[in-house]
């Protein structure tokens, strides 16, 4: 019994020689088929397999005619969400005002969820027993004061986590996009590396950024955490004072010579003399304390 002959298989390299004649050299399909000894049916069959029905020319996907959440709108929503943290309703009104586009809150919420733009609300945290008397600081790293101030960079409201050692008056800060407890941990670690000595105890207000996971993190490391009384910022007088200093000398100074706040920070710790340190810089005070310890 005779069997049917198997169809001829053309190698990929050979097939693309056909397409090259048509696409690059603009020869008719009929002439190309005659040159290579194939039928037009064979040519189109293999071209469909290799390129699909859309051919080898790129055609971008078209938006649905009624689509409102276009690429530009999505970019706008993401940028404004990170900047303002607006909920779906506020974002709907903001998009309406800025873009003249009426979106539903459901669409905005689903997009938030898809892009993981929803910040989890912080759970209600317990209040801690405040200090009854001021700490007596005798060595570097004791009673290190932490606080947060608002700063504006590139049109965005950000949060400066300040860390100040009251003994040497060495100061460090970390600017963050959010005022979260986890950022207080980051600021603590960076300050400790910058200071060059261990932070032995911490003093803060009762703000949510210093409770929760930051307090738990300190507790696990056996670092005492003291809370000042409510509505008593003067208990953290030294870190509050350094906030006024950076405002006067950098943020609100039209004649400042430093290009970035971190340049000012280096000046503050290594060049600026302090009357409270008897004319020493914080770095000189640190070196003096190290010499005395020896």
DSSP string over 81-128: HHHH---HHHHHHHHHHHH-----HHHHHHHHHHTT-PPPPPPPPPP-
Per DSSP (E only), the strands in 213-262 are 225-227
- d(CA 240, CA 222) in angstroms, rounded, equals 26
pLDDT of 273 higher than 60? yes
Q: How does the average pLDDT of the chain come out, rounded?
A: 87
Distance in angstroms (rounded) separating the CA atoms of residues 30 and 232: 90
- The bridge status of strand 225-227 relative to strand 202-204 is parallel
User: What does the pLDDT read at residue 123?
Assistant: 61
User: What is the model's pLDDT at position 57?
Assistant: 60
* Phi and psi, residue 52, nearest 5°: 85, 175
Is residue 25's pLDDT more than 90? Answer: no
Query: What is the mean pLDDT of the segment spanning 238-252?
Result: 93
pLDDT (0 to 100) of residue 250:
94
In this prediction, residue 224 has a pLDDT band, given cuts at 50, 70 and 90, of very high
CA atoms within 13 A on the CB side of 234: 1
List the alpha helices (DSSP H) in 134-236: 181-195, 213-220
């Amino acid at each position: 019994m005779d069997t049917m002959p198997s169809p001829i298989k053309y190698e990929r390299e050979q097939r693309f020689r056909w397409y090259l004649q048509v696409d690059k050299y603009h020869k008719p399909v009929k002439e190309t088929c005659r040159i290579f000894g194939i039928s037009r049916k064979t040519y189109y069959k293999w071209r469909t397999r290799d390129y699909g029905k859309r051919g080898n020319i790129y055609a971008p996907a078209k938006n649905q005619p009624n689509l409102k959440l276009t690429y530009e709108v999505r970019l706008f929503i993401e940028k404004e969400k990170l900047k303002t943290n607006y909920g779906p309703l506020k974002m709907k009104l903001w998009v309406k005002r800025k873009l003249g586009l009426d979106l539903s809150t459901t669409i905005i919420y689903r997009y938030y969820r898809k892009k993981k733009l929803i910040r989890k609300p912080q759970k209600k945290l317990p209040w801690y027993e405040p200090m009854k008397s001021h700490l007596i600081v005798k060595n570097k790293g004791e009673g290190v004061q932490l606080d947060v101030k608002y700063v504006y960079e590139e049109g965005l409201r950000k949060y400066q986590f300040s860390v100040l050692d009251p003994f040497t008056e060495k100061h460090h800060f970390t600017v963050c996009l959010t005022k979260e407890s986890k950022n207080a941990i980051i600021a603590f670690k960076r300050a400790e590396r910058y200071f060059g000595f261990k932070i032995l105890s911490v003093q803060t207000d009762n703000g949510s950024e210093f409770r929760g996971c930051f307090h738990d993190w300190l507790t696990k490391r056996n670092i005492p955490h003291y809370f000042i009384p409510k509505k008593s910022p003067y208990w953290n007088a030294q870190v509050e004072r350094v906030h006024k200093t950076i405002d006067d000398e950098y943020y609100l100074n039209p004649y400042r010579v430093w290009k970035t706040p971190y340049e000012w920070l280096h000046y503050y710790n290594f060049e600026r003399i302090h009357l409270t340190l008897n004319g020493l810089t914080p770095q000189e005070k640190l070196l003096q304390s190290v010499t005395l310890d020896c």
